[in-house]
Amino acid sequence: MTTRRILVADDNQQIRLLVGAALRSLGHEIVQAVDGEDALQKAISERPDLVLLDVTMPKLDGFEVLRFLHKQPETANVKVIMLTTAAQQDDLKHGADLGCDEYLTKPFDPKALRVVVEKVLAELES
């Protein structure tokens, strides 16, 4: 399996720790961002292969970050998985319209997370 760099952007530290541990166990390298601005900066400076993007974050929300990522040439092709809560189900269409690759509804278990992440990363191989 190829080691990938994954940016985990969520303002909830518990989520960042859970996601980070689950994905490190697959051998991936994890970078964390604590809000939307931090996510954008790290997407540019760290050049992740994949961004896990929380919807509700301070400074810039996940949809704004997604829009910026796709606008900038350096990050236009990065894979994005949105992290939403059940209350934000209506947002999923919005995310799909903006071109996110997948989404996960919180709370999710580590196994479901790993399955979705590996599916999206597999698209990078082809």
Dihedral of the alpha carbons of 77, 53, 106, 92, in degrees to the nearest 10: -60
Of 54 and 101, nearer to Mg ion (C-beta) is 54
Report how many residues bind Mg ion under the rule CB under 5 A. Answer: 4
Does 101 contact Mg ion by CB under 5 A? no
Site for Mg ion in 32-51 (CB under 5 A): none
Distances in whole angstroms, Cα of residue 21 to Cα of each of 60, 74, 100, 123: 25, 27, 23, 22
Q: Please state, in angstroms and as integers, the Cα–Cα distance from residue 80 to each residue in 59, 76, following that order.
A: 19, 10
The reply on whether position 56 binds Mg ion by CB under 5 A is: yes
Question: Does 54 help bind Mg ion (rule: CB under 5 A)?
Answer: yes
64 touching Mg ion, by CB under 5 A: no
**For Mg ion, which is the closer residue by CB, 25 or 41?**
41
Q: Which two tokens stand for residue 105?
A: 């509804």
Q: Which residue is nearest to Mg ion (CB)?
A: 56
| C-alpha closest to that of 51 among 10, 91, 90, 17 | 10
Which residues are near Mg ion by CB under 5 A? 11, 54, 56-57
